[in-house]
Amino acid sequence: MIANGSQKLKNPPSLQETPEYFGHLRSDVLAHVPDALSSALSIGCGQGRTERELVEKGCRVVGIEPSQEAASRASLNGIDVIVDTAENGVKKLQGQQFDCLILSDVLEHLVDPEATLAQCLPLLRPGGRIIISIPNFRHYSVFHALFLKGVVPDRDAGIFDRTHLRITTRKLVERWYGTHLITASPPDYQFSGRLERGLATLCFGLMNEFLARQVIVSGTKTR
């Protein structure tokens, strides 16, 4: 079911220009989803490729997606999609509750991510799981670009995605969790290649914060 929202992101990326931006499978995110799940809310669901895995297991999935193109494809994947911004879409779901809340590479695109997160949490049942994936702004490439070269690269995706509005780090998400009574699990660092993964192993995990391009921080709502 696609509901047309009144306000959409000003310039969401084009699906034709960057199809992988909306349609890739996030197995790393799925690894944090509880096995017994009857409902999930995915904010920024894209084409619903990741969420389709949950639908195929019998889970009801509602998605919020500002791109009409991506939302249309997500609906074909069995997702009930609200076509709107995260902020407005959450308001339309007030009174409902879900077993799991997924925000996969979303918070860095929002003007006030903590305020939006606070809006989302009443939609998560007590004991429910929240999964947040963010680009890691402590990655060594950020230091290299800003402090050594003095530039901010302009990219279609990744840490330097041109549509990012906010800087995100593991500690920032954990601080938000603490403020809103979410018990955080240990962070899951995602490395982009063998070199970074190998260096992380050689350093016994001590350099994960600077080698991982992506961090997944999941948590449980305490009440």
DSSP 77-137: TT-EEEES-HHHHHHTTTT--EEEEEEES-GGGSSSHHHHHHHHGGGEEEEEEEEEEEE-T
Token pair for 156? 């279609």
Report d(CA 26, CA 214) in Å as an integer: 12
Cβ–Cβ under 8 Å, residues 25 and 104: no
What was the pLDDT predicted at 88? 93
Q: What is the pLDDT along the chain (223 residues), one digit of tens a residue?
A: 344 332 333 344 444 444 454 567 999 999 999 988 999 999 999 999 999 999 999 999 999 999 999 999 999 999 999 999 999 999 999 999 999 999 998 888 888 999 999 999 999 999 999 999 999 888 778 787 767 667 776 776 767 677 777 878 899 999 999 999 899 999 999 998 888 888 888 888 888 889 988 899 999 998 7
At 183 the pLDDT is 94
In 3-state terms the chain splits into helix, strand, coil percentages (rounded to 5) of 35, 25, 40
What pTM value is reported for the model?
0.83
Phi and psi torsions of 117, nearest 5°: -60, -40
State how far the Cα of 205 lies from the Cα of 13, in Å rounded to an integer. 35
What was the pLDDT predicted at 152? Answer: 72
Cβ atoms of 136 and 200 within 8 Å: the answer is no
Q: CA geometry: angle at 160 spanning 157 and 161, to 5°?
A: 40
Classify 174 as helix, strand or coil: helix
* Fold topology of 2-136+166-191+215-221: Rossmann fold (3.40.50)
Output the pLDDT for position 148.
62
Q: Do residues 79 and 41 lie in contact, with contact meaning Cβ atoms separated by under 8 Å?
A: no
